[in-house]
Amino acid sequence: TLMEQFTGMDQLEKKLAALFQIERCLIVSGNSDEQEKVIGEFGELIDEALQRQLPDGRNIIAVMGGTTMAEVARHVSPLETNKRHNLFVPARGGIGEAVAIQANSVSALMAANAHGEHRVLYVPEQLSENAYHTLLKEPSIKGVLAMIKEANCVVHSIGRAVHMAARRKMSEDEIIRLKQKNAVAESFGYFFDENGAIVHKVPRIGLSLEDIQKMPIVLAVAGGKSKAKAITAYMKNAPKQTWLITDEAAANEILKGK
Ligand code: G3H
């Protein structure tokens, strides 16, 4: 299997998992900043992790968006069996991404490749807080939200704070404030400083960081030398059951001087 091909990485994987105090790290050789195929390999490892970890019965898999997740979704293979049924949902709604990389789209693509089902959370990307709270009272939205809250698995990426803020069209003021608070990482619409402390939250529905702490299966996927700081920051308070799928370039940068 792909996992076995990477046993040369064994030491690096163990070091990184120990540093972050998480269950497992899987490292792909190369640098996803420069080699697109590395992200495809992340996808194959995510597929294997899902095959191995998803129990029989009904699973609800919450997925986040982003360019990494969109590529990962393309590499998911059928996960259905006679005994195992999988429903894919977006982990959070409306955090401000382009359609192709929104959590809704990633979840739909994963479901199609996994031969599972999916539900869409219809929340416009740019919405005032008032409109947002009204929307929360809609029965169709409430229904999907309840499913999201029951998820037993989450797959997500980690981004660089200012890069994500700019891509999601946050205001100049907000970006300045993020910089003042030394935000370096973003995941699930939360921004973190170097110590892993939350310095900003995008007020959106779906999974909260608290929900994720209790979730049985947590798969984080992020690589590239450029994301080393972001990964380190997010991992400071990541759930212990997390599996991190990353690449050699990020791992070496993170472990430099450690
Ligand atoms: O939350 C993190 C972002 O979704 C990461 O986005 O995969 O495009 O770097 P990216």
Reference 206, options 87, 68, 95, 67; nearest CA is: 95
Burial class (CB in 10 A: 0-12, 13-18, 19+), 126: exposed
**Predicted ipTM?**
0.97
Which residue out of 186, 229, 245 has the highest number of ligand 1 atoms within 8 Å of its CB and is therefore the one to mutate? 186
**β-pairing, 190-193 with 198-201?**
antiparallel
CA of residue 57 to ligand 1 center, whole Å = 30
Ligand 1 pocket at CB < 6 A: 64-68, 157-159, 164, 186-187
| pLDDT one-digit tens code per residue, 197-240 | 999 998 778 899 999 999 999 999 999 999 999 999 999 999 99
Which residue out of 39, 104, 158 has the highest number of ligand 1 atoms within 8 Å of its CB and is therefore the one to mutate? 158
| pLDDT one-digit tens code per residue, 71-95 | 999 999 999 999 999 999 999 876 6
Q: What is the mean pLDDT of residues 135-145?
A: 89
Give pLDDT, residue 181. Answer: 98
| pLDDT one-digit tens code per residue, 94-112 | 667 888 999 999 999 999 9
| More confident of the two residues 232 and 126 | 232
pTM, two decimal places: 0.94
